[in-house]
Structures are given as structure tokens and as C-alpha cells.
Structure 1
Amino acid sequence: MNAGKTTTAAEVGRAALRGGLRTGAIKLTGTGSGGDLWKYQDSGIDPVFDFTDGGYATTVDVSIASLEILFNRLVNAAAASCDIIIVELADGLYQKETDGLLHSPSFRASIDSILFAASDPMAGMAGVQALREIGLEPSALSGAVTASPLAAQELESLSGVEVFGLQRFAADDNALSICMRSAHVFEEQRLAKSA
């Protein structure tokens, strides 16, 4: 919570729009609140959806199978008018629904990259390690940690993953391509080494 997930997603959306991509956003899990969707809309992202569009006021205790159906329904609704769809998951990798989705083969097969938002270097490292343990490599890191240049530098050095603050999203023409690197690269490299 308050790690900067929505702000990060909105900045990725802005970068995609500057790159000429038709951009949509989905808040897949959480508790109903207009603020996240409004932030996306204020960034120029269209269409935007969240779980309330699928009939849920909250996704707490919603089964993974139901979330997979909801995800597919929302992606299908956005896909016709989008080149890229940004999906935000609720707070924390250990949160039951987030954890279930990240372990779901069908969900994992549907995502191209992961951008992890962290509040500080320790949280960022814990997140990177948790993702790597399940065979996913974050394409980049961002979030509240970038409010401190020293903290962002520390996290980048420790994790080996590039860290993007809001200014870098706005100024770096390569930001979007870096953030869209495949999340499955780490798993493929790990499997190749064990073969």
C-alpha cells in the first residue's frame, strides 16, 4: 500500500501514449475506489477498467479462477482499441489474490512484463527476490523509493534491475521499451542453465 503502483502505471501509460501507442489500463484487484481510475484517465489513458466493471466491489476472497475470468473479460473489452494494456494488481506479492495470480499459468502466459513498485530499497529487494523465486524477473522497478535518489541508486545496485522515477519516465525515450522487457526471461535463463 502506498508504494506508488498507480502512479507508476499512469507514468507507463503516459510514456506509451507519447510513443504513439493506444493505451488502456486495468486495475484487476483491490477494493473499489475511483482515485486509481481517475489517475489513469487524467494521464490520458483510455479505456480504463477495474474489477467493479466485472461486478465486484472488492476482490478480497475472490477465487483465482474467478479473477482469471474477470481478467480475460476486461482484457477483451480493452483489446480492440489498445496496442498496450497496463494491469495493476493490489497491494503486496504475498496478498492472497496477487500471489494466486502470479502463480497461475494462464495469467502468467498473458503478461509480457512486470514493473514492480516499492516504497524503499528493502521492500524492493524483497519483491525482486520473491518474483525471482517464482521464475519471474521484473523488467524495471519504480515507486515511492524513487523519491530518494540515494535509495533508488541503492535498490538498482543491489537488485541489478533498472529503477525509474517519474522524471526518467518523462525524459527517457527508451523507458517504455525497458519496462516492456519480457518477465519470462529469468525463467528461461534459469531453465537453460539447469538443462
Structure 2
Amino acid sequence: MKTIKKANSCKNIADYKVNRSLIKEHRPKAGDVAIFEVMEIGSLKSIQDYKGRNCYIFEGDHIMLAFGNRYASNQFEAYVPKGYQEEYDLVGKGGVAGNVTSMYYKLEDIGPTKIKLIGYAVNKNGVINTIYHHRKAVSFNPFKRRSFKTILSIGSSMDSGKTTTAAYLCRGLKNGNHKVAYIKLTGTIFNKDKMLCFDCGADYVSDFSELGFPSTYLCSMNTLMNIYESLLRDVEAVNPDYLVIEVADGLYQRETSALLEHSPFTETIDHVILSCGDSLAVHTGEQLLQEVFDQRLFALGGLFTGSPLMVSEVEQKSSIPVLTLEKLVEPDLLNGLLKGPKVEIAV
């Protein structure tokens, strides 16, 4: 067999054999590891490999991926296939395979990169699955008291600027001599977001993929909260002053919406910053979040802050401070906005 280019989603997969006989009889599930041949290059011309570097792929290459679902309104909607197919799609650059069922209009002409299933990665226990492959699952503890304050970075939609907001927020907190951690709770595996936060000064960064999840789309609430507990325990070992938590996509996305309706999660949040793409989205997002978090929504940010006109529109309609990127890194301003006692969890 050719050299196999191992994707980031499979970075913890070491001892395995390739079983070609299972390709038609095994029904894949999220996290199952398989080897594919690249058949036709589409929108994704590279994968993030197991070292986190950008690895270009070419027709004929063999790549190791994990099956997974994906929700990305500006990219793909994709699902784990229900059975064997002649062809599959590369749906995530971090190394996710599935079936694309819809895509952003700008991708329609080129479409997804097409791949062919060569075989499953197996060990003595059968087909290898990345989820909790190298770590044990832990149950969420709603009564646990954490020493650090939490800041939720949430967006009105995908590409509303919430990751950049989270990263610059990390930098502003570091400028104030605080120890800062960052986690991404939901999304599809890709190192870009957490590494931006690391480069902005976060002392510790992690996300759901460290537990083996290629994505969190269609995960149950119980699964999401157990992921959350695992990440929180890792953060506890670092003992930060602040933890910045990012959730993927927008307020209406399945997992984000469910988390906002789940009090065991919302009651762990001390502060919230909302990122929006335009001024009208601020109005809707503010209404939704104030119903859940009330005074904990302390600031607004995101793409709209790049337009002085939209900032002016928002400031005329909202009493919540607008933080441009320049303001997010001002430690005195942040300290003033974040002052107050830590929220106690009462479940």
C-alpha cells in the first residue's frame, strides 16, 4: 500500500491494520477510522495532518480520515453514510469523511473532494474509533466549584467573528496579567481556532477533538456535557484566572441552541460576549441572550465592528458596550467590564 497521509482527526491512531474485507459489510459511525484514495480534488485541496501542518493531497493519494457529521452554513452540511458507497466526500480539512447533502452556493461549481474507501483501520477489537480512543469519558458534575471565571464567546452565525473576538479577548486578559485558558466546546475538528488563541497569548488551549470527536454535530446533550467536563478538568490543572469558551456556528445551530436552553451549562457561565456580522443581527442576538444570561452579556463584538457606521447604529440602539479589536486588548477596559463576583452554579 502507498504511504498513508494521516489526518489530524486520527493523530492518536498508531497500531492498526487495514482491513479491506469490511468495506461493504461494516456500517460506519462517527469516529470510525478508514483509509481512502483521493479520486477527484474539489474545494478541499489539503488536509491538516497528524502534526497539525497543512498537507496537500493529490489524486491517487491514500489518506486516513475519521467518519463524521458536519454543520457549516458557509461550507458543507454532511452526514456519516448509512452504508457502503462507491464514493464519499472529504467534508472537513481536519480529516472528516462523510456525505455532503448541501453546500454553500460558492462551492457548488467545484464541489467537495471525492474519495474512495480502501479499507478500515482495525485492531484486535475491530474497527478503530477515535472517540475516547486514548481517554476515558467522564460525567458532567453540575455541583463542581471551579476557581476560574468563564467567558462565553458566541456568534450570531458562522463567520460572525467569534473566534477572532475570543482570541483578542485572550490577548486583552493577558495584557492585564491574567492567566488565560481557551477551549472550543463544539464544531468540526480544525486547529486554526485554538492556535489563533494560543498565538494571541492564551496559556492553554484545547477543544473537543482532544477527546477524539471529529465533530460534535448531532451529539446528544449528555455527550456534550461530558465533553465539557473533560475539558474543564484539563483546564483546572492549569489553574487560570479566566477560561474563554467558544461554541461553533450561530445561535440557531442545533448544539448551540440546545446548550443555551440547558441550565446546567448556562449556569457555569460568568460572562458572555456576542459577535455579529451586522448591526441588525446584534438586535436579535441581544434579545435571545439576555433572556438566558441577563446582565452576564457584557459586550458586543465581531465583524460589524469593522464598520464605523454599523458601530454607530448599534450604539444608538444598545446600551451594551461595543468592543472593537483595539478595545478588546485594552486590559483596563476589560477589567472594568468584567468586575464583579463569580457566578455560583446552582443546579
SS of equivalent to 2:271: coil
Q: Answer yes or no: is the 8 Å Cα contact 2:172–2:330 preserved in 1.
A: no
Tell me how far 1:181 sits from its aligned partner.
6.5
RMSD value over aligned CA atoms? 1.9
> Alpha-carbon deviations, 1:109-144, whole Å to 9, x = none?
111011000011011111001112335442100000
Residue matched to 2:96: none
Q: Matches of residues 142-181 of structure 1 in structure 2 within 5 Å?
A: 142-171=301-330, 173-179=332-338
Q: Which has the higher strand share?
A: 2
Tell me how far 1:55 sits from its aligned partner.
1.7
Residue matched to 1:187: none
Provide the rounded CA distance (Å) in 2 between the counterparts of 1:180 and 1:79. 21
Q: Structure 1 residues 169-178 or 138-147, which shifts more?
A: 169-178
Residue matched to 2:274: 116
> Alpha-carbon deviations, 1:26-53, whole Å to 9, x = none?
0111111111011011112121011101
TM-score (norm 1): 0.87
Structure 2: which 5+ residue stretches go unaligned? 1-157
Question: Are residue 30 (structure 1) and residue 187 (structure 2) matched?
Answer: yes
Provide the rounded CA distance (Å) in 1 between the counterparts of 2:278 and 2:176. 29
Q: Answer yes or no: is the 8 Å Cα contact 1:140–1:179 preserved in 2.
A: no
> Alpha-carbon deviations, 1:45-76, whole Å to 9, x = none?
12101110122111100111111111111011
Provide the rounded CA distance (Å) in 2 between the counterparts of 1:96 and 1:183. 28
Residue matched to 1:88: 246
Question: Are residue 57 (structure 1) and residue 214 (structure 2) matched?
Answer: yes
Residue matched to 2:154: none
> Alpha-carbon deviations, 1:77-128, whole Å to 9, x = none?
0123211110001111111101111111111111101100001101111100
Structure 1: which 5+ residue stretches go unaligned? 185-195
Q: Structure 1 residues 115-124 or 135-144, which shifts more?
A: 135-144
Count matched residues. Answer: 184
Q: 1:121 to 1:109 in 2, by over 3 A?
A: same
Q: Answer yes or no: is the 8 Å Cα contact 1:113–1:181 preserved in 2.
A: no
Q: Answer yes or no: is the 8 Å Cα contact 2:266–2:293 preserved in 1.
A: no
Q: Answer yes or no: is the 8 Å Cα contact 1:114–1:179 preserved in 2.
A: no
Q: Structure 1 residues 167-176 or 12-21, which shifts more?
A: 167-176
Q: Answer yes or no: is the 8 Å Cα contact 2:186–2:215 preserved in 1.
A: yes
SS of equivalent to 1:127: helix
Q: Structure 1 residues 70-79 or 166-175, which shifts more?
A: 166-175
TM-score (norm 2): 0.50
Q: Answer yes or no: is the 8 Å Cα contact 1:113–1:180 preserved in 2.
A: no
Q: 1:96 to 1:181 in 2, by over 3 A?
A: farther
Question: Are residue 139 (structure 1) and residue 298 (structure 2) matched?
Answer: yes
SS of equivalent to 2:256: helix
Provide the rounded CA distance (Å) in 1 between the counterparts of 2:301 and 2:335. 13
Equivalent of 1:66 in 223, 228, 234 = 223
Which structure has more relative contact order (CA 8 Å, sep 6+)? It is: 1
Q: Which has the higher helix share?
A: 1
Letter in 1 for 2:170: G
SS of equivalent to 2:267: helix
SS of equivalent to 1:140: strand
Letter in 2 for 1:93: L
> Alpha-carbon deviations, 1:1-33, whole Å to 9, x = none?
111111100111011111111100001111111
The percentage of counterpart residues that share the same residue type is 34
From the CA coordinates, give the structure whose radius of gyration is larger: 2
Provide the rounded CA distance (Å) in 2 between the counterparts of 1:23 and 1:147. 26
